[in-house]
Structure 1
C-alpha cells in the first residue's frame, strides 16, 4: 500500500486525503498550524490520521509521495528534508488529475485569474455543460474528483500549484499576464516566477490549446526563446489576428478554427480594459468548446463579476465605495486606479511582497486626492506618495479607514479599497479584509 502524506490540512489537503483514501493509499495529514474543526471532523469520519501544530518527521519521511499545500514554501525545513530524501513532492492538481477523464481548462496569470475562471465557468455552465470549478478557488479539485462526475473542470492555477506539477496538462491553458508577484517565494528572481507560470503549457501537445495575452512583454519575451507545442491563440487590445481574439472599432472579435464571433464591447457586463482581456480569454475557451454564439452573448452580458474584485458596495451621499480587496499586488491596483474616472480616496497597505510603487505614480497624480494607509508598516507607501497627494493618513483598523475616507470624500468622489498588498498583518485573508470593508461601509 502506497503511503500518501499531505502537508497542510486546509481545503486542498483534506480533498486530497479523501481522494487518496478512496484510491487505496495509506493517508496521513500533517499541519504545522491548526486544522479547522470542520476539516478535522471530515478526516476523522473518513478514518484518516492527522496531526496539527507539528510535523512528526518519522511519520512524514516514510512517504511514497507527498502532496504539499500551495501555501507552504519550498524552503520550509520539512520540504527540504523530503527533497533530500528524493520523495516526490507534488501539488493537489498533479495528484488528482490522473484519476479523472474530464477535460481540464487551466487558467493562470498574475491578475484576473479568478474573474476569468468564474467567467469561463459561467459560459460553460450556462451552455448546459456538466462542469466543475476548482484549483485555487472554491471546492478542492481532488475532493470533486473523489465525489463528483464532471465532464469538464475549470481550474484557477497559482504559480505555487504549477510548481508542484510533473505530468499534468490542461487541454486548454490560459496565461493572462505576468507581473512581479510573490517574488519572496522565487528568491526575488523574476525569471523564476515567469518560468513557473509557463509550466502550465509544458506538457501540452499539438492536440491542446494555449491562449495568451499578446500585449504582455514578459510573455512575448519568453515565447521568443522557448517553443510551445500546443496550438496558440493570442488575444490583444491593439493587434488583430487571423486566428485569435482582438478588439476592433468597439467590437470584440474572436476568430478560431475558421469561425468568427463578434460582440459589441459595451454589451459586455464587466467594465474596464483589463476585463476585455479576461472576456476574450474566456470566450476563446467557449468557442473551442463549441458553445452557441447566442449563449455566449447572453452569458457575457449577464455575468456578475467576482466578490472583492472592483465590487461596488454602496453609494452614500453620492460617494461610491468600491471593494477591491483582492488586489494583493501593485499590478492589480494599477488596473483598479486605471478604471477610476472620479477623484479617488485610496485605501492602501498591508504586507508588502517586495512592491515597486513607481509604476502607480502617474495614476496616483492624476486620480488620487487622498491616501489612507491601512497597515502595520506604511513607511514605503508614505515615502513613495507623501509628496504626490495632499492628504495622507495612517490607520490600523478597517472602521477607522472607512470613517476617515468618508470625511475626506466629497460628492461625486470614489472611495477605493485596493491595498496592493497581502492582508495578513491585520486580517485573516483578503476576503476577511473585503468583508470588514463592506461591513464598515454599511455602518456609515
Structure 2
C-alpha cells in the first residue's frame, strides 16, 4: 500500500490518516497488507507518477514482501499503471480501481449492480491500450492495414461502447421508475429525510436506531451500497420516510458519482438532509468537507436546503469532550445534534429537530363532526396534532400542522369537516 503525498492533497488531513483510510479500503476487499509506505512527491512524473529512485525503492519493497498487488492511493493514468506493472512485475491497482472493486463486490440490488458495472466499464475503457500483448494479431495479407492488436482493440472498444450504452439506457429506466415512485409518495404527503455522510460514519446504525430496522451494519468502509427506505415515526406527529444512502469518500471516482446519480437523487428530493459525521474522528472536519464537495457535484445547494449535522459516536468521547461539543452544537450553522447511534443518546432530540423542520406550516383548526373517526385518524396520520378538544355534541376540534398539499387533500376527502386557518 503506497500513499503518494502531494502538497495540495496533504493540506486538509495528515498523510498517515490518508494511508490508514486506504489500508481500510484494501482490507474491505480482503487484501492482506504486507507493507505500507508514504511516498513524498516533488512532482508528478508523467510516465510513472514517481521518480526513478522511488520506483526502484518500491520495486524492492514489493519483492521483499512477495507482493501480488501494489495499491497506489492515487489516480493513475493508463500509461502510468502499465509502466509500474512492468517495473514491479505485480498487478497495480489505483484508488479508483480499488473503490470500484469494493462496489462491485458489495452491490446487491439490480440497480446497484447496473451502476457499478457502468462505472467499471467507463473506467476500463481508458485502459484499452496497445500494449495488451494477448490481443496481438499478425499483420495479414490482402492489403490489411494496421499494426499488432489494433483490430482487436477496436473491436473491444466497440463492444464496450455498446455495453455502456445499454447500461445507460437501463439506468434511465431506473431513474424513470424512481421518479414515478417519488410521485406516488408525494400523493401521500409524507416528508422525506435523507442520510448522507462519509463512509463508516455510522449512517446505517443511526438508520436502524431511528426506524427500528435491521439494515446490515459493519465497522467497515462502504458497508452500505444499495439505498434503503423505511418509515420514520416523528414524535407526536405524522410519519416520514428515511433513506439511507451510499457513503461518500475523499476523491470519490467521477465514474461512481455519475453512475450513482440516479440513487443519490433521493438526496436532492429530500425535505431534510441529515449529514452524519463521525465526531470522534480526528479527520471529522476534513471528511465533512469531502461530503459537501460531493453534494455540490450533485447539484445540492446546502445553503438553500434544510440540513442538520448529526455528530455521531458521542459514546466514544470522554465526558468533558462531550459537554464541550454539546455547547458547540448549539452555536454552529447549520444546526447540529450530538448523538450516539449505538446507545441512542440524543436520538429523541434529533427526531424533535427533524419534526420541527418538516412541520413548518402554520397550524389550522379542523372541526370534525361527531362520529367521523376516519377524519380524525387521517389528520393524526398525515399531520402533526398539537391540541385536541371535544364539544358537548361529541364533535372534535384539532389544532394540526399540515402541508398545503395535505390540507387540500383533507378538504377534498372530508368536506363535512370545517377547517379554519
Q: TM-score, normalised by structure 2?
A: 0.28
More helix by share: 2
More strand by share: 1
